[in-house]
Each structure stands twice: as C-alpha cells, then as structure tokens.
Amino acid sequence: MTKKSVPARNVGGIDLYLKKIFTLMFAAVGVTAITAFLTIYMGGIRLLVSESGMTPFFYVMIFGGLALSIWAQVRVFSMKPALAAVLLFLYAVMIGFGLTPIIWGGLAVNPASIVWAFVIAALMFGFMAAFGYKTAKDLSFLGIFLMMGMIGLILVGIVSMIWTLGGTFSTIVCAVGVLVFALFTAYDMQTLKRAYEVLGDDTQKNQMAVLGALHLYISFIAMFQYLLGLLNRD
C-alpha cells in the first residue's frame, strides 16, 4: 500500500500575502513614529502648535491625510502596487505630523503613557487580528456598524477641534474608539483572508496587500491614539 503524497506547501500563497500586508503595515507605523519623534526633538512642534492653538499646517496634515487615504482606497486597484505603497508611506508621514501634538502632550504629562498605549495597542491588535483570521464566524455583519462608528468618531474629532469636549464625554469617545478599531482589526483580517481566495492575478493580490496594510495601519494608529487619550485623562 503506497502512501499518498502530500503536496508541497505553496510558499507564494496566503503566507506570503499576509507577510506583505504586515511588513507594509509595520513599516508605515515605523515611519509615523520616526516622523513624530523627529518633529518633536528637532523643534518642529512649532509648525503644528502655536500659542493660539493648532497651526494651518496641522490641519493640512490631518485633512490632507484623510483625503489621501480615501482617494487611495478608491483608486488602489487602478494603480501599480509600488505607487500604492508610496502613497501609504506618504500618508504615514502625514499622520506622524498629525499625532505629534498628542505625543508631545503625553511626553509632558506622563511619558510612560506613550509606551503603555503602544504596548496595549500592539497586544489588542495582535489578539484581534488572530481572532479575525482564525474565527469561523462570519464578521461581515459588523461592516455597516463599524463604518457608522468610524464616521461618528471622525465627526466628533472635527467638533472637538472647535469646542472642547467634557472630560466624561471625552473618556467615552476614547473608549468607543478603542472598541471600534479593535473590532475593525478582526473584521479587516477576515476580509483580507477571504479576498485572497477570490482575487485573480498577483497584481490584484499585491494591490489588496497594500490596501489591507492601510486598513490595519489605520486601526492600529487609532487604537494607540485613543488609548493614549484614556491614559492621560485628568
């Protein structure tokens, strides 16, 4: 009786696809961190914060980054993967500038909060990404609720630039933000896994890898931001 031969594992399959996604995502996080800390330690904080509040440059980075991310997500499948990756890193630089005032404030109030926010965000991200990849439960029903939650958080963020939010309300917003983007991580991981199974050629898979890296990057950075806000509540 002969043994059945076991097919060799496809090293260019989903493992390589996920490796590309996480390599791009963590590289973008690194670019954001370097941008923020270089801005602070080289005195660039003056470009973002003045005695009267945030500068026009800060708002250009925030709203320009938002516009770039939306445009890139709409156009990703009509551009080369290399160009999409360049736009991802450009977006990471813009977010680095946008996060600088928050990190600068954290350094002034409680430097350890930055480390703790990063560690907790990394642990939550890892757990939710693994859950989204492994679970057999269909998470697609979460899509509409998470999108509504994200839009609500963006609107609250815009309002907070004009009016100062109360301490309790701000704490609730931060807690909701952490929850929304933690669930987004699991949702996106399951979506990316399923997308690999239906995408056609390697170009499409590479385009989706960049898009997936962008989505996961946004979730990780948002969790870090909201956790930092929670840790620095008065």
Q: Alpha carbon of 97 to those of 48, 79, 104, 150, 205: distances in Å?
A: 8, 26, 11, 21, 30
**Cβ within 8 Å of residue 15, ≥6 positions away:** none
* Residue stretches of the chain with pLDDT short of 50: 1-11
User: What is residue 62's predicted lDDT score, i.e. its pLDDT?
Assistant: 92
User: What is residue 95's predicted lDDT score, i.e. its pLDDT?
Assistant: 96
Tell me which residue of 145, 223, 119 sits closest to 177, measured CA to CA.
Answer: 223
User: What sign has the CA pseudo-torsion 146, 148, 154, 156?
Assistant: negative
How many angstroms separate the CA atoms of 48 and 55, rounded?
5
User: What is residue 193's predicted lDDT score, i.e. its pLDDT?
Assistant: 92
Question: One-letter amino acid identity for 73?
Answer: Q
pTM of the model: 0.90
User: What is residue 10's predicted lDDT score, i.e. its pLDDT?
Assistant: 45
